[in-house]
Amino acid sequence: MSHFAYVDGVLHAEGVSAVSLAEQFGTPLFVYSRAALTEAYQAYAHACAGHRASVHVAVKANSNLGVLNVFARLGAGFDIVSGGELARVLAAGGQAKDVVFSGVGKSAAEMREALEAGVKCFNVESIPELDRLNAVAAEVGKKARISLRVNPDVDPKTHPYISTGLKANKFGIAFDEARAAYRTAAAFAHLEVVGIDCHIGSQITEIAPYLDALEKLLDLVEQIESDGIAIHHIDVGGGLGITYSKETPPDTGLFVRTLLERIEARGQGHREVYFEPGRSVTGNAGILLTRVEFLKPGAEKNFAIVDAAMNDLARPAMYQAYHAIDPVLERHDMPTRLYDVVGPVCESGDWLGRDRSLAVLPGDLLAIRSAGAYAFAMSSNYNTRPRAAEVMVDDQNVFVVRARETVRELFAGESILPA
């Protein structure tokens, strides 16, 4: 069900009017639904029940402490790609023993922090990373548990910027080189091989690419174990898509069960399986509220100029991504017009939606849908714009989970030259 719905012509987040949220907290404003986050996570958790499977939420999709805390309270593990994300997980109530550390460029300092914290596993993406991790583990007197991220060269037919499993991508170890890489890894004194990892991309709306990658992975596991190297877990990554417009991603439970059944059918059900959802547990659990500053008619285009911008939501400018945009107040007494919804940033690329049919007036509120993933997490201070506030709605209660920045905070760490 949608937790952002109209009640008497006014958009609500759970039991709270979006109008009241904007009046109390200002705009632009990210609004998250605790019920939506919980429902999306439990779809994975319930499908994993009864299997040797666990869920590790991808922090990069939405790293707000309030959001991560919701997942931590539900018993989630986490997938991180930086030392900063590890610090966020721990601050939000997550446990290091439930953290998988991914990413192509881990620094020695990040490795050290993760080893001392006691993370569950490192997903290693290159031979040089194996060398560095082994050296760091020796320095701190620990043994690093690792899996290798294998690049299966499977095309998920998604946007090229978020496709990660092809030969041309920077991620992972080439499939043809993976068996030898495992032999190399097993020879390091301060590394312990425990699993295998694969992540082919993001916003994938079909199960078939996952199955193609999984079949190659399962074949490889058999070869690796024939070399005397035990594989205890299979990390199938994340990337399941959501509905932004007309996409029809598979049901989460069906997706999870299909992969688990294929693993079990291949006689490998004794291994633990990791799922790493990000967008699919946060994307449709958030909206971005923005206010119309001006309606500007043009010779070729009409523009609705709003107070949110590409610094708040980079996906349209970066990926040409579509986000549904709806008026907070339904106006049935006036005709719609076609608008490009744009922000005040000094870039032609500062657009949030093109050719949208809207019945709006200056001062009206718009809700940009599906803004719970890769929205605030990718936001910036371009044009010296303070980043938006974030709030969590829980039924009829509202909690500020990140205060709005002030301009002075943006340059508090800067200084002018001495006289």
Q: Which residues carry a binding-site annotation for pyridoxal 5'-phosphate?
A: 239, 276-279, 374
Q: Which residues carry a binding-site annotation for substrate?
A: 279, 315, 319, 347, 374
d(CA 391, CA 21): 9
> Is 198 known to be catalytic?
no
Question: One of 48, 121, 198, 346 is an active-site residue; which one?
Answer: 346
Tell me if 162 sits within 8 A of 319, measured CB to CB: yes
d(CA 295, CA 341): 10
d(CA 335, CA 403): 37
Q: Which residues carry a binding-site annotation?
A: 239, 276-279, 315, 319, 347, 374
**Count of all residues that appear for the chain in the document:** 419
Q: Measuring CA to CA, which residue among 405, 371, 365, 410 is closest to residue 389?
A: 405
- Catalytic residues, by residue number, are 346
